[in-house]
Structure 1
């Protein structure tokens, strides 16, 4: 679906695109996302940026916060539920800068990257998978 937007897409519109991307995942992956909260915010907060050593808030389009599936047995009680946070303004900025893909494709890419972290994949693993699928 390639939509045209008269105004910059809202938080709710980005959320709807991300939820559709989750629906499009294979059942085997979706089954392990029960309980993972999806949150769309305009920008990452200062604590998140500082914790990751990121200076420019436009450099962070999303983050997975939680315990990867393969490490759940190590989790201690009292931890916050897993969540995936997507950041609207950095996503829109990247979308405009790229200019060659749909917003749906970019949101799906960011979401799948964060889902990969939920499954314990490293950035290098995900980049390798992306390269091998081209």
Structure 2
């Protein structure tokens, strides 16, 4: 119990490090499809995003993909912002506190889903990718 007495909530940089590690653990073919993807971590989505996504509170959105996914793809237009995923630290921490899963698993799950839906992947495809990433993180003894 003493380890928790001095524990603090993970910072933006620590959540970003979890996201970077989660991305690195994804299968090579999935990461290749994400060339140029940027991962950002903010405490909360901005007001414009909350309105656009129809969120009732700032805790409703764990992550978001912005850009042109492969399903819509084609050539990148001049002046187009690079594809990016935003992960929202405070909503992630709130969700984590109320569910029985590790923070690393949650960050991986949100990251895969934000990238995957915009690549035209099904939920089953994304579950298989997550399972492959988890097998790399925790190889059987």
Whether TM exceeds 0.5 here: the answer is: yes
Gaps of 5+ in 1: none
* Alpha-carbon distance change, 6 to 87 in structure 1, aligned in 2, over 3 angstroms: same
Which has a greater percent of helix?
1
SS of the residue corresponding to residue 85 of structure 1 reads strand
* Other-structure match for 1:119: 119
1:14 and 2:3 matched: no
1:102 and 2:99 matched: no
Q: How many residues align?
A: 126
Root-mean-square deviation over aligned CA pairs: 2.3
Q: Deviations over 1:62-85 (max 9, x none)?
A: 000011113221654322111000
CA distance in 2 between partners of 1:96 and 1:116 (Å): 25
In our comparison, the structure showing a higher alpha carbon Rg is 2
* Other-structure match for 1:81: 82
CA distance in 2 between partners of 1:20 and 1:128 (Å): 20
TM-score, normalised via structure 2 length: 0.80
